[in-house]
Structure 1
Amino acid sequence: MQSLLLLPAFAVCLLLGWPSPSLASRGSETAGGGPLERFPPKVQFFWTDIDHFNFVSKSPAQKFAVKVLTYDGFYNRLPESPLLVYLGNEGVIESFYNNTGAMFEIAEEMGALVVFIEHRYYGNGTSLPWGGNSFTEEHLAFLTVEQAMGDFAEVLSQMRTDLECTGAKACPTILFGGSYGAMLVVWFRQKYPHLSVGGVAASAPVNTFADDLDLGALFWNASLSVFGSEGKIVGWPQCEQTVKKGMDEIQKKSLRQLSGTFPVCKKMETETDRLRLEAYVRGALSTLAMSDYSVQADLMQPLPPFPVREACKRMRQHVRKGKGSSPLLKDLVGAVNLMVNSTEKLECWDLGRELIEEEGGRERGNAGEDFSGNFPPSLSMGGNSLGDIWKVWSFQVCTELPMQPLTSEDFGFLIPFSEDHSRALKAACARLFPHTKWRPLWMRTATGGDSLGSVSNLIFSDGAKDPWGAGGPNRACYERIVQGKSTEGCEEMKPQTGSPQSFALHPSAVRLFIRDGAHHADLRASDPNDSEELRRARRKEREVMRKWIDEALGKEVLNVA
């Protein structure tokens, strides 16, 4: 593998005819501009094998170019200067670059090089093994966690050579990732420990599997608790109960009534449509909860500071004014639209994007879409700064990652919440990818699930507003939240549900629970509105990272536990 020409991002896009990364600048962290604007990246492409694990001569001999963004404005270029490396997840890499400002602050303190590696298949015209022909089922077969980590390993190995990082102590590398990217950090530390000295896994649901319906319930109840706590702050403690009652109404009302109340694109005709609507609403509200940052943010959709408070205010107004024949359902419309239609460009809710199989029929999926054909991701779908990742992410869901795929117009993610939901998801996968094997528990076999005692130097950080943390080492914290109990010291507690293994972690692993934190909020840029709790978590993370680096360089270190 060898690297290609290094150019500013906009220049590469102009030369190759690709969309400018400015399209992803909608993901900026602050009104003053995000890292794409403040720290313009250089773009480099690294050749890597499409198939890292097949040595037979008939195997695909093709290589493809993985896109890498770097920023060297703080880099000291010394042998001991660190590399801070973000392992890309489900979206265009510019979006993650633009929403991970903490890495640049750490780089300035440590004189480090900042590196963002794009995940295969998720680039907006880049990092695609077969270009625009990459999305057939035959070619999607090479979209796996293992192959993606092989790409990361190849890129890091080549970068170390290019930077002349000779010797075990040179260029100590720290990994970063959020959500699925955080899962990759954990598994990469497990599989390739020699290529990094540690990793920050922010909001890493590494023990999320389809057979754990207790987790699906905990995930939803943890989401609801955010509406309860934020509703109290705006003087409306009934916010959580209003959402619950509204969800109950979805089960009670006729399909005709639901079609007349919710702005759905097609008339609801079957009970499967009811399940789709439930998943759509749950996905949007759960994503709204996890996105409850204290600052304006648009990682997926432009949202105001504390968007859950805004949703509660909207619902309170509907209740007071008694709008509509069913105020409870109208409440849900207003709250969901805050997540999926803040730009007011969405004409209707496309329930067909829910990956749920129609009983006795076929999976409808995207309107007019031929699942057997090819279509590249684009940033035009609904304004999501991650790009249109529906089919690509759905393939991963239908193979290795047993999470409900994109819901709510590409703006929501949701853990299966019932046996009916799980069965419908499996059936939809069989229809969408008829030649692909469903292996929802494979990653538990491959990685150990919550048995991670052999994986050293990891920071697991979760926020109380982020329901995805329930699928990680801090599960007990979310159990206590939904029980109305104190979370003090919950990082050391055993969960009451799930595997009896209860997360066997390496002694060097650090768990952080940010009691007012949202989805990987610790990776975002610092802001004057940040809570002391969040600031304290970031300080702890940097102490631990310095310890890892000092240990790698053979320096004497102090205990930072």
Structure 2
Amino acid sequence: MDSLGYSSQLLSLLFLFFSISASATPFNIPRLGVGTTRRTWQHDQPQTTSSSSDTEDFKTFYYTQPLDHFNYRPDSYTTFQQRYLINSKYWGGADSNAPIFAYLGAEESLDVDFSIIGFLNDNALQFKALQLYIEHRFYGKSIPSGSMKEALKNESTRGYFNSAQALADYAAVLLHVKKNLSAENSPVIVIGGSYGGMLAAWFRLKYPHIVLGSLASSAPILYFEGIAPQVGYYSIVTKDFKETSQSCYETIRQSWAEIDRVASTPHGLSTLSKRFNTCGQLNTSDDLKDYLDSIITSAAQYNHPPEYPVSVICRAIDGAAVGNDTLGQIYAGVVADKGNQSCYDVNEFNYPTETNEGWKWQKCSEMVMPIGHDSNGSMFPPSPFNLNEFINDCKSLYGVQPRPHWVTTYYGGRVCSSKLFLYDDSFGAN
């Protein structure tokens, strides 16, 4: 390819960042308490307008990856098999320096990602790009020791389950693929969503010699203590509902106090169980409030066409206003969102999954996001993030004391310091 054509291709790739939005996994918000999970951890899949190409277009490979990229401990020489997939259907080939679109896997198996990722395949034909999908260590089929449960019990290796090691994994796989395909001159764009978007942005900063650029979709890169306000996420959820329907917003805002009021009466929890048709008896009012919180926040987070869950819930809440009290309206919203079921399991999003267990560890060891909310302009009751409680929850789960590490970032021309936490057994953090 002549230099002018190559420059034009690079400009087109850069233009991609400003002209197209990625179809990627939305931001997955953790519960304030580490020991519990919420709906967004379960990856309820949003409806998308496109999907990855047919599975027969993919070829699966495994790369022998070192457990530790940074140290020289004896166990650092342990290896594991990391899965990656290639789709070369539209690739223009190494001779034409055709680009490589690399999806950086996040907190789930690649098998889950394929159903919701459309960006790479949607644009591969136009740019004659090779599609590369790399699975995150400790997820899917890229787990160093058996299962996620076994890996997290192994105190000598679970410290290698962190973002710095994952970024080094991606670098190794990318260089390996480029060498095998004689595609050293093919520009690389890394792509990710949510936590994967954070990885994509950090990868461009840390390995600029490997990638031309990154596309980070819904990436909470600055959601750490000392940088982002605790109330950021819930304030946006509130804004979504308030802009959709003022009356719906007011009903939701009033419902929390009403739930607590009913729960405090004789047989109040039984009453709430019947009102919301729960599959089992409620133990506390928090069980119900957490369930409703998950439905409401997920609706805003996954507010995709054609249904637009926020609108669906608000239409149901507003439509049930005549002849119904506040709890009746809220229940109508639950039915609209979840469908007409024989009963509603308020614990259905708390059951352990690989993603839940893995992200729980990543939260405790590294991704400590101070997500909370107050009553100032919010439709949710006050629930500030409590770092001490968070640390105690992590200690009870993993039996070790998180230790603070101050990291420096640069944002808006100024230096920001934020506190991340790594366990004492987290070898290899870099």
The question of whether the paired residues in 1 share the 8 Å contact of 2:101 and 2:189 is answered with yes
Cα gap change, 1:430 to 1:337, in 2 (>3 Å): farther
**Match runs of 1:448-527 below 5 Å:** 448=409, 451=411
The question of whether the paired residues in 2 share the 8 Å contact of 1:39 and 1:71 is answered with no
What is the Cα deviation at residue 352 of structure 1? 9.5
Encode CA deviations 1:168-220: one digit per residue, 9 max, x unaligned: xx0100011111111111111121111100011111111112567x7332321
The TM-score, its normalising length taken from structure 1, stands at 0.57
Cα distance in structure 1, aligned partners of 2:151 and 2:99: 35
Could you say which residue in structure 1 is the equivalent of 2:347? 350
Cα gap change, 1:144 to 1:215, in 2 (>3 Å): same
Cα gap change, 1:330 to 1:431, in 2 (>3 Å): farther
Encode CA deviations 1:434-453: one digit per residue, 9 max, x unaligned: 125254xx4xx4461x5376
The answer to whether 1:218 aligns with 2:232 is yes
What is the Cα deviation at residue 395 of structure 1? 0.6
Cα distance in structure 1, aligned partners of 2:44 and 2:180: 29
Cα gap change, 1:420 to 1:104, in 2 (>3 Å): closer
Which AA in structure 2 matches 1:242?
A: T
Runs of 4+ that moved beyond 6 A: 24-28
SS of the equivalent of 1:175 reads strand
Of the three residues 41, 48, 67, the one matched with 1:29 is 48
Which AA in structure 2 matches 1:160?
A: K
The question of whether the paired residues in 2 share the 8 Å contact of 1:277 and 1:351 is answered with no
Could you say which residue in structure 2 is the equivalent of 1:284? 295
Encode CA deviations 1:364-419: one digit per residue, 9 max, x unaligned: xx5xx8xxxxxxx5xxxxxxxxxx411111111111111389xxxxxxxxx99734
**Match runs of 1:266-415 below 5 Å:** 267-268=281-282, 273-275=284-286, 277-295=288-306, 305-322=307-324, 327-336=325-334, 341-342=338-339, 344=341, 347-350=344-347, 353=350, 377=353, 388-403=354-369
Could you say which residue in structure 2 is the equivalent of 1:427? 392
SS of the equivalent of 2:81 reads strand
The answer to whether 1:46 aligns with 2:63 is yes
Please tell me the root mean square deviation across aligned C-alpha atoms, in Å.
Answer: 3.5
What is the Cα deviation at residue 290 of structure 1? 1.3
Cα distance in structure 2, aligned partners of 1:347 and 1:321: 23
Cα distance in structure 2, aligned partners of 1:335 and 1:350: 18
Of the three residues 216, 225, 241, the one matched with 1:227 is 241
Could you say which residue in structure 1 is the equivalent of 2:193? 178
What is the Cα deviation at residue 336 of structure 1? 4.7
Could you say which residue in structure 2 is the equivalent of 1:190? 205
The question of whether the paired residues in 1 share the 8 Å contact of 2:313 and 2:336 is answered with yes
What is the Cα deviation at residue 500 of structure 1? 8.7
The question of whether the paired residues in 1 share the 8 Å contact of 2:258 and 2:327 is answered with yes
Structure 2 gaps, min length 5 = 1-42, 372-379, 418-430
Structure 1 gaps, min length 5 = 1-23, 232-236, 296-304, 354-365, 370-376, 378-387, 406-414, 454-498, 503-561
Of the three residues 151, 154, 157, the one matched with 1:134 is 151
Could you say which residue in structure 2 is the equivalent of 1:154? 172
Encode CA deviations 1:515-540: one digit per residue, 9 max, x unaligned: xxxxxxxxxxxxxxxxxxxxxxxxxx
Cα distance in structure 1, aligned partners of 2:349 and 2:110: 27
Aligned length: 359
SS of the equivalent of 2:131 reads strand
The question of whether the paired residues in 2 share the 8 Å contact of 1:177 and 1:183 is answered with yes
Which AA in structure 2 matches 1:243?
A: I
Cα gap change, 1:447 to 1:285, in 2 (>3 Å): farther
Could you say which residue in structure 2 is the equivalent of 1:249? 258
Cα distance in structure 2, aligned partners of 1:114 and 1:221: 37
Q: Taking CA–CA contacts closer than 8 Å with sequence separation of 6 or more, which of the two structures ends up with the larger relative contact order?
A: 2
What is the Cα deviation at residue 338 of structure 1? 5.5
Cα gap change, 1:254 to 1:26, in 2 (>3 Å): closer
Cα distance in structure 2, aligned partners of 1:424 and 1:329: 31
After alignment, is 240-249 or 285-294 more displaced?
240-249
Cα gap change, 1:203 to 1:225, in 2 (>3 Å): same
Cα distance in structure 2, aligned partners of 1:389 and 1:404: 20
Cα distance in structure 2, aligned partners of 1:317 and 1:293: 22
Which AA in structure 2 matches 1:178?
A: G
The question of whether the paired residues in 1 share the 8 Å contact of 2:84 and 2:133 is answered with yes
Cα gap change, 1:334 to 1:148, in 2 (>3 Å): farther
